A and B are shown apart, each in its own frame.
Chain A
């Protein structure tokens, strides 16, 4: 069964550094999302992406964040200058035409 994959599984970075989290969507899916879950809190929406552009973003998704689909397969989330409060699990999700979203296993980002 096809699945969403994410790399790396765990990323440790120093405050102020840039990180890029990668996702490989399910091949026939058209809609792409990033969510995050801070330890002990709920899963929160960050951004949605369709047809090579952002369709919606939350208040969390400020100028430090960006997304792109550089080669038509990978879907990336970049955090330009990480802060301690960016430490969280980051989940990529993809969807076909319907509303059900399929999640990857997540990347645990630790900012020290």
Chain B
């Protein structure tokens, strides 16, 4: 099942700079996407979401961009902070409200 892909397993960014995490999907029926953050020994924490009727959604330092024609979304974090260091999962909402997750990208923000 490769319907949601995160091709970068890891990303390192200097504190204060922008972090860009990418996600691709293959199922054109997906119309709602979510980003989750996960710390070790914890469950995924909901961060931000976007509906396919939009191409951008912003919440504080977090912005998600959606390019439907490319089946691509990205999460921008600016400015990045050391506390943002975690694994970030992209997820797409299926027809039964089940989530299809990517494999995650480990973000390290260097102080």
Q: A interface vs B, CB < 8 Å?
A: 4, 6, 31, 33, 35, 41-45, 48, 55-56, 58, 91, 93, 95, 99-106
Whether B43 and A55, one on each chain, are in contact in the complex, defined by CB atoms closer than 8 angstroms, is no
- Minimum CB distance partner of B102 in chain A: A42
Interface residue from A42, A45, A48, A103 paired with B43 (Cβ < 8 Å):
A103
- B interface, how many residues as a size bin? 20 to 34
Complex Cα spacing A4 to B42, Å: 11
* Nearest CB of A to B105, in Å: 12
- Minimum CB distance partner of A58 in chain B: B98
Whether B96 and A48, one on each chain, are in contact in the complex, defined by CB atoms closer than 8 angstroms, is yes
B19 adjacent to chain A (CB < 8 Å): no
Mask: chain B, 66-96; 1 = CB below 8 Å from A; 0 = not:
0000000000000000000000010001101
Whether A103 and B34, one on each chain, are in contact in the complex, defined by CB atoms closer than 8 angstroms, is no
Whether A43 and B46, one on each chain, are in contact in the complex, defined by CB atoms closer than 8 angstroms, is no
Report chain A residues within 8 Å CB of B89.
Answer: 43
Interface residue from A6, A33, A42, A100 paired with B46 (Cβ < 8 Å):
A100
Interface residue from B46, B96, B98 paired with A102 (Cβ < 8 Å):
B46
Report chain A residues within 8 Å CB of B49.
Answer: 99-100
* Nearest CB of A to B90, in Å: 10
Mask: chain B, 39-54; 1 = CB below 8 Å from A; 0 = not:
0011111100100000
20 examples of A-B residue contacts, CB within 8 angstroms: A31-B97, A33-B99, A42-B103, A45-B94, A45-B100, A55-B97, A56-B97, A58-B98, A91-B43, A91-B44, A95-B97, A99-B32, A99-B97, A100-B49, A101-B46, A101-B99, A102-B46, A103-B46, A104-B43, A106-B41
| A42-B102, A45-B98 known; A103-B45 Cβ under 8 A | yes
